[in-house]
Chain A
């Protein structure tokens, strides 16, 4: 399985500011994804980070609010722009890898964001 690291692990930010979260993988991966997990809730997919092209966003998430970069096969960033307290969540990076019968996803440790 891939080893995934995220920076920062946590942050407290003021409303109206932006935060960029980094995701680094120890091997090249084809697919990278960003999820959000609000307090007490399950994971919600934000977008698929495509290498060399624009990210593919899920319904309810837009590029202006959550710009994503993927400059190579081992790295991606997610920016949470113009933050409000409703953006307080854990943000998780995920990559596709091999496991058992077929492909599956592996997750980073998450970035806990609190917006005041």
Chain B
């Protein structure tokens, strides 16, 4: 399984755009990249998933360069409610191998 590296923590003010970058140098050809959000005392919540280039949904955007060795989760205009831990994971498209979580990035949004 590809190992991921992301910042331990980040701070941001309300209304700013937040970009969290994840490194996954050993990503395999059939791996996709998935980001989760976890609030205290809740299970992780799926945010976005991609394989290459750019993916956008109502919550976030995911930017993946051509070499796929990193990815960036972009949260537009964060609010206090976006304070959470964000996990970047890579896994095979077949999905038979369960996801292995790293330490995640603790995002604190300040008023």
**Given A43-B44, A109-B43, A112-B41, A103:B94 Cβ within 8 A:** yes
- Docked-complex contact A107 and B98, CB < 8 angstroms: no
Residue of A nearest to B34 (CB): A104
What is the count of residue pairs linking A and B with beta-carbon distances less than 8 angstroms? 71
Residue of B nearest to A58 (CB): B98
Cα of A112 to Cα of B49 in the assembled complex, Å: 28
- Docked-complex contact A107 and B43, CB < 8 angstroms: yes
Cα of A104 to Cα of B98 in the assembled complex, Å: 9
> Does A1 make an interface contact (CB < 8 A)?
yes
Cα of A11 to Cα of B51 in the assembled complex, Å: 40
**Given A100-B49, A104-B49, A42:B87 Cβ within 8 A:** yes
Q: Would you mind naming 30 contact pairs between A and B with Cβ atoms under 8 Å apart?
A: A31-B95, A31-B96, A35-B101, A42-B87, A42-B103, A43-B44, A45-B98, A90-B41, A92-B43, A94-B98, A96-B95, A101-B49, A101-B50, A101-B51, A102-B32, A102-B49, A104-B34, A104-B46, A104-B49, A104-B91, A105-B46, A105-B95, A105-B99, A106-B46, A107-B43, A107-B44, A107-B45, A109-B42, A110-B43, A112-B41
Shortest 7 CB-CB contacts between residues of A and residues of B: A103-B95, A107-B43, A100-B49, A102-B93, A43-B101, A101-B51, A42-B101
Q: A99-B46, A104-B99 are in contact. List 5 more A-B contacts (CB 8 A).
A: A4-B43, A94-B98, A104-B46, A107-B43, A110-B41
